[in-house]
Structure formats: structure tokens, C-alpha cells
Amino acid sequence: MPDREKPTKPNLLFVFSDQHRAAATGCYGEKQIATPHMDSLARDGLRLDNCVSTHPVCCPYRASLITGRFAHHTGMLSNYIDIGHDYVGLGEAFKRGGYATGYVGKWHIYFEGQEYEGTNCHVPPGPYRMGFDWWAASNGGHNYYKWFYWRDGPERIDGREYQPFEQVDLCKEFIDSRKGQEGPWCLVLSWGPPHTPYKPPPGFDGPRDIKLRGNVPAGKAAEYAADVTPKYYGLTESLDVALGRLLQHLDATGQRENTVVVYTSDHGDMLGCQGLKFKRWPQDESVNVPFLIRWPKGLPAGVASTLHLGTPDLYPTLCGLCGVDVPTRVDGRDLSAFLRDPQKSGGPSHAYASMAYAYTPWPGWKMVRSDDHVYVEKAGEPWMLYDRRNDPLQTVNLVGQRGAAQKELRAMLAQSMAACGDSWQHATQRGDWEYWQPGSKKYAEQDLGGMETLDLKR
């Protein structure tokens, strides 16, 4: 075959934000937010309705994304735990597959053995970068207007403007550096917003009236939600503008057709729903994240897929799409065939998620999320059962009311735990776990009236 006819591997641009729930996106049905560029990804590619953050908090998600392993296998069961480097990371796999690799933005899985308060130690050297060679990353922090990052050396560089916009410029720098170079590229961009603090940039901070979701209780929760939701939406809209600039650069450089573009998030945000804040909860506002993927040369367009996709599946699925070999020590499944052909039968019937360190007593909660139900246990006992078809806002807990369904879901959860080697026994309590236990200060700060309803102390 002449060289000009050799099939070329696609580039990969993987973009993810911090704390963006699927329900706060135009293409997922929210009419009170303007996300035209995210919506265009859905129109020009696939929108997955059942993408689940398998361990919905920052560090565990990132560790699973980079390693393809569940949190109970990486040991990253909460924030501020060292992951080590004994993995073939996502960057390394793509580098072995002939890709130039780059990473921009929040890293947040390397802490030099520091405890919880050591949150901004320097970003990792050498093998701790998991195969990403081109580097413009920070280790955490959510000051989006006075921020810093590291390049190849140890020198810290102060950010000059609103963090997501400047990070797009850094991404464009990486893309432009590949001009005239052979081989495809793999670039990961990790944004900090719309995570707290809810401080959108000028132009995105105007007043607006937001109709709250139907599962935000009156009183304290509604007051909180009315205050923060418009700001959260403003941050999200700023990310959409940043994404648009990046997509426009792909168009301008002639790389649209053969670049796989993904937009997703590490977890969601309750924003007062169920009387709760932030993440770490099993409800959809916390675990259901957007997943939009476009590849004009290789994927169908305008498809809303019901494929159940968990965090450890991302690594092998991206490898499958791009023709990259998947390492053996990966827990996730290559589901790329179901993206190429959304009508293909035999896909996963559910997604599995867990949280060892949360607001529930040790050892936390575990759940399965199927087409019809969400089922959650804590300490091995039924805790939540929601009917996804008839109660999408998850307002009625049906535990004890649907015997046959509950029995089937309990078996499904047990099988899921066995399949991935999870259990109710975890050997260590590390990182910031004590900050989130019942009776802690952070635990008390989360309660907007929903804690008692959830019966967390049992």
C-alpha cells in the first residue's frame, strides 16, 4: 500500500472539568444555560446519557482515568494520597503507540507523602507524570485568577489571566508544536471550574433567575441553591467559550476530521439537591457526568447513547478508538465498539460506583445504576432504591417496597463487586478521609437539611 494510503491514527483531545454535572448542560436538557459548543459536540458526535463517575471525588477519579483501575486497586480512595508510578499510565500507553503526549491543567494525584494540608506541593517529576512528556500542569488549587503551573523544569510559572482561557492557549501551543512533525498527538486538558469557589469571570457573572430542580427542598437548601446555581452556570458557560476556542483552533489547523474530541467531568455537584452539597453522594447530580465525543472520520453523529460507561473504562476505550494497545493491568473495559456502532448489542447492563470515604460511616457506600434503577448499599445493607424511569429526580426511596427488584439489584451489586475485586473491607484510612466522617466539621458543612432524611448514622 502506498504511504499516502496508510490509515492514520487519530489525534486525541481529552478535556475534562471539575464538578460539572450532566444536568447542567444544554444538550442534556437544561434550557437555562448556554453551552453551544458542548451542544455542537453532541450534534456532531455522541452524547452518552449514562456516564458515571465511579468514585465521585477529585483524586480517585483522576487516578482511575490515568490508570484504568478502580479506586480500591489504586489505593486512591480519597484525596491527598500518593498514587505512586507503578502503572502504565494513559500517557505512557499512547506514547508507546506512537503518540506525542501532553498534559495541561490540574493533575492532583501526587503529593510527596504530604498530608491533607499540603495541597499545593509541586507537580511530579519523571515517571510520576505517567508518560505525558509535554507538561503545563498544576497540582490543585481553585483560585482561577491567581494561579500557577510548572513546565518541564522545576520553575513555577504564574498564570496571567483567567485559568481556563490561558490553559486553552497552552493547549494551542502544544498543538502548534506538532506542525510538521510525524505521528499523532494525545493531549489531556483538565479544568478547575465549575468547582467551588463559585466565582465566574467578568462577562459570566451577571444576575439571572434560575428555576431550581424539583428535588431542592425549601428553606436552607433552596436559599443556598438560589445563590450558587447562577454562579455555577456562569463558570460552566465560561468553559463552553474556552472549549469553543479550542475547537476553532482544530478547525483552523485542519485537524477537525481526524481528531477524537472528548468532553467530560470528574464528578458532579449536588447544588442543594436532596438538601446536600458538592459530590461524594450516589445521586445523579453527583455521579452522572457529561460525556460528549466527536470523531468525524470514525464515529456516527447526532447520537444519544445509553451505553453505561464508568471511569475505569475511559482508558481502554480511548485506546480502542485510537488503535493503541491496552496494558494488562487495567480494570476497565474497551467499549469503543459500542461507540462506533451505538446499536450494537451486548453492552454493559449497568455501571458500578462506590465511595469508601464519604459522609456515611466507614466503609461508605456502593451502588449500581442500571437503565431502570439506582440501588445503593452502605455497610452491606440496602440504603437507597430509585426508579429512574418514573422518578428521575430520585425523590422517593423505594427500599423495602419493591422486593423482587431489590433482590435482583442486590445480586447485581454483589456480582459487580466480585467482578472488580471490591469488598466492604478496606485496609487503610488515609488522605483526608477523617474530614468527611459523621461528626466532622466538613460533614456538618454539607448539611442543608438532607442528612437526617438519608439516615446516615445507621
pLDDT at 430: 66
Q: Report d(CA 148, CA 145) in Å as an integer.
A: 10
Per-residue pLDDT reduced to its tens digit, 273-328: 999 999 999 999 999 999 999 999 999 999 999 999 999 999 999 999 999 999 98
Amino acid occupying residue 261: V
Compute the distance between CA of residue 60 and CA of residue 54 in angstroms, rounded to an integer: 9
CA 25/CA 134 separation, integer angstroms: 31
Strands of 381-387's sheet, edge to edge?
Answer: 350-355, 365-370, 373-378, 381-387
* pLDDT higher at 448 or 19: 19
**pLDDT at res. 121:** 52
For the residues 169-196, what does the mean pLDDT come to?
Answer: 96
Report, at the CATH architecture level, how domain 350-441 is classified: 2-Layer Sandwich (3.30)
Check residues 93 and 7 and name the one with the higher pLDDT.
93
pLDDT exceeds 90 at position 155? no
User: Above 80 in pLDDT, residue 223?
Assistant: yes
Could you write out the DSSP letters of every residue in 108-126?
----TT--TT-TTPPPPPG
Looking at residues 231-259, what average pLDDT do you find?
98
Say what the pLDDT of residue 115 is. Answer: 43
Confidence tier at 455 by pLDDT (50, 70, 90): low
Residue 5 has pLDDT above 60, yes or no: no
pLDDT band at 102 (very low <50, low <70, confident <90, very high): very high
Predicted local confidence at residue 439, as pLDDT: 75
CA–CA separation, 130 and 186 (whole Å): 13
Percent of the chain having pLDDT more than 90? 72
Q: Is the pLDDT of residue 3 over 70?
A: no
CA geometry: angle 311, 314, 319, nearest 5 deg = 160
Q: Is the separation of the CB atoms in 51 and 291 below 8 Å?
A: yes
> Per-residue pLDDT tens for 37-72?
999 999 999 999 999 999 999 989 999 999 999 999
What are the residue boundaries of the structural domains of the chain, listed by start? 8-340, 350-441
pLDDT the model gives residue 441: 76
Cα angle, residue 400 at apex, residues 396 and 403 outer, rounded to 5°: 115
For the record, the C-alpha cell of 108 comes out as 492532583
Q: Give the span between the Cα atoms of 159 and 112, in whole angstroms.
A: 23
Q: What is the mean pLDDT of residues 215-221?
A: 95
Rounded to an integer, the average pLDDT of 399-406 is 92
For the segment(s) 8-340, the CATH number from 3.50.50.60, 3.30.70.270, 3.40.720.10, 1.10.8.60 is: 3.40.720.10
**Cell 483567567, residue located:** 162
pLDDT band, residue 456 (cuts 50/70/90): low
pLDDT 10s digits, 107-147: 888 766 444 344 445 567 677 788 899 999 887 778 999 88
Average confidence (pLDDT) over 173-202: 96
Q: Give the torsion through C-alpha atoms of 163, 164, 170, 174, to 10 deg.
A: 150
Q: What is the mean pLDDT of the chain?
A: 90
